[in-house]
């Protein structure tokens, strides 16, 4: 089952994906960081909500 992961609100309307920390086929644990995003004044890693396997990545850095 595919799960869409949304970027949490970090206080800005737009964020840039600065790093993708996983690749298709990777097994991830719940709370493992998937991507790093950066806004005007903050940077944060977005965690996996559940354990599972990365089936598809629909974002790019930049």
Distance between CA atoms of 3 and 19, rounded to whole angstroms? 20
pTM over 0.75: yes
Other beta carbons less than 10 A from residue 2's beta carbon: 6
Q: List the one residue out of 17, 43, 62 whose CA is nearest residue 5.
A: 17
16-53 pLDDT per residue, tens? 999 999 999 999 999 999 999 998 878 899 999 999 99
- The residue ranges of every structural domain in the chain are 1-62
Rounded distance between C-alpha atoms, residue 4 and residue 23, angstroms = 16
Residue in 33, 44, 38 with CA at minimum distance from that of residue 17: 38
Does domain 1-62 correspond to CATH entry 2.40.50.100? yes
């Amino acid at each position: 089952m595919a799960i869409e992961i949304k970027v949490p609100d970090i206080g800005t309307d737009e964020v840039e994906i600065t790093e993708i920390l996983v690749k298709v086929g990777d097994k991830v644990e719940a709370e493992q960081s998937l991507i790093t995003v950066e806004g005007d004044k903050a940077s944060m890693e977005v965690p996996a909500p559940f354990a599972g396997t990365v089936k598809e990545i629909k974002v790019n850095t930049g």
